[in-house]
Amino acid sequence: MKALTVALPGREYDILIERGLLDAAGEHIRAVCPSARRLFVITDGNVAPLYLDRVEGSLKAAGFETAAAVLPAGEETKCGPMLLTLWERMMEFGLTRTDGVVALGGGVIGDLAGFAAATILRGVDFVQIPTTLLAQVDSSVGGKVAVDLDHGKNLAGAFWQPRLVLMDPDALDTLPLPVFMAGMAEVLKYGCIWDGDFFEFLAARPSREALMADIEHILYTCCDIKRQVVMEDERDTGLRMILNFGHTVGHAFEKAGHYTQWSHGEAVAAGMCVAARLGASLGVTPADVPAKIENAVAALGLPTHISCDWETIVEAVGLDKKSAGSRISLILLEKMGRAVPVKMEKDAVLRTLEAVYKG
């Protein structure tokens, strides 16, 4: 087993990575939630037939009473009405403040379940059991939980750290290839923003088979980078902003596709390509970096460009959570492996971005 500790004072938790960990979920959760009697499991219709029985069986063997909500798969589930439904079902189950919530699934389920846990009874423990590559390397760690609004993604949310994150690499074997490769966009991001050698390691392994041969190392490296960033900046006011490399325009791509045409990973992949070209046009990013990123993205079968109406991009920049007044902190690369926030007026960002995107 590989293990990492997110050492936030008073909110410490471990990330455990091991094949077969789904079947041992109960004993690990019991160790961090000794007083809990009930666990409310939230999952979706894709994951439930594969893993719900195994996880619930492990939880019951550890002495927990369980109930499960199986939600429709997809980004549209991460919404206010579904959050309200979950609150009511938790109350029907008899959840108390000493009980907890388990998120079993990808990023949508983790975000929604975490926000439900953060808000029901003014906050109960929750455990992340991510089953997609994107969720394992990114959204399950760090405590950002949210739902979407009509205006955009993740605009209503909270910071609510999990009590434990359990990652079973075997769960990745059941992912369709496009879903696996979409997760690789966030993996590549860590190389871009933090570790140039890791980027080169990934670029040399463009196939799923080659990546899965080193998957424990990949998961550990990504989670270790995010752990370090979160411990320095839990509330996303400084260093943590670099984790949003490629996301400002990426969110516009998602919205333009009505959250169904392009997955988050595909949108971020194209968004990183735009951000790299933007950085080069501003003289921040070395001229050879955009091509390196585009080549790595293309080798994984991910899009390097997504058509999007300009008005949607303008709206996404205006709603970016890195905004402060009329200024926005663009996340750009000073070199491969080092990202920095560059503060600019939104009007100047849009002028430069328009030239890069439309040019």
User: Which helix H or strand E contains 289, and what residues bound it?
Assistant: helix 289-299
Residues 6 or more apart whose CB falls under 8 angstroms from that of 209 comprise none
If one counts the domains in the chain, the total is 2
| Mean pLDDT of all residues in 59-77 | 97
Q: Are residues 153 and 231 in the same domain?
A: no
Query: Can you give the residue range of the structural domain that contains 57?
Result: 2-174
CA 283 and chain centroid, separation:
29
Report the mean per-residue pLDDT for the chain: 95
| Mean pLDDT of all residues in 138-163 | 95
Q: Are residues 256 and 186 in the same domain?
A: yes
Residue 198 token pair: 């890791």
Residue 42 is predicted with a pLDDT of 99
Characterize the bridge pairing of strands 125-130 and 65-71: unpaired
What are φ and ψ of residue 58, in 5° steps? Answer: -65, -40
| Cα gap 11→17, rounded to integer Å | 20
Residue 322: pLDDT band (50, 70, 90) is: low
Q: What number of other Cβ atoms are within 10 A of residue 347's Cβ?
A: 10
Q: Are residues 6 and 53 in the same domain?
A: yes
**Is 80 exceeded by the pLDDT of residue 319?**
no
Q: Are residues 240 and 330 in the same domain?
A: yes
Query: pLDDT of 268-314, one tens digit each?
Result: 999 999 999 999 999 999 999 999 999 999 999 999 999 999 999 99
| Closest-CA residue to 169 (of 203, 215, 126, 125) | 215
**Is 90 exceeded by the pLDDT of residue 67?**
yes
Domain's final residue, options 135, 152, 174: 174
Q: Are residues 102 and 150 in the same domain?
A: yes
Residue 321 is predicted with a pLDDT of 66
**Contact (CB, 8 A) for 13 and 161:** yes
Return the SS3 of 62. coil
Q: Are residues 34 and 18 in the same domain?
A: yes
Domain's final residue, options 153, 174, 195: 174
Q: Are residues 59 and 168 in the same domain?
A: yes
Residue 309 token pair: 């109406």
Q: Are residues 116 and 189 in the same domain?
A: no
What are 108's strand-pairing partners? none
**Is 90 exceeded by the pLDDT of residue 324?**
no
Residue 242 is predicted with a pLDDT of 97
Residue 242 token pair: 């670099």
Query: pLDDT of 183-216, one tens digit each?
Result: 999 999 999 999 999 999 999 999 999 999 999 9
Residue 317: pLDDT band (50, 70, 90) is: confident
**Is 80 exceeded by the pLDDT of residue 6?**
yes
Q: Sign of torsion, CA 16 18 22 28?
A: negative
Q: Are residues 87 and 191 in the same domain?
A: no
| Closest-CA residue to 347 (of 321, 312, 314) | 314
Domain's final residue, options 141, 174, 207: 174
Residues 6 or more apart whose CB falls under 8 angstroms from that of 299 comprise 203, 206
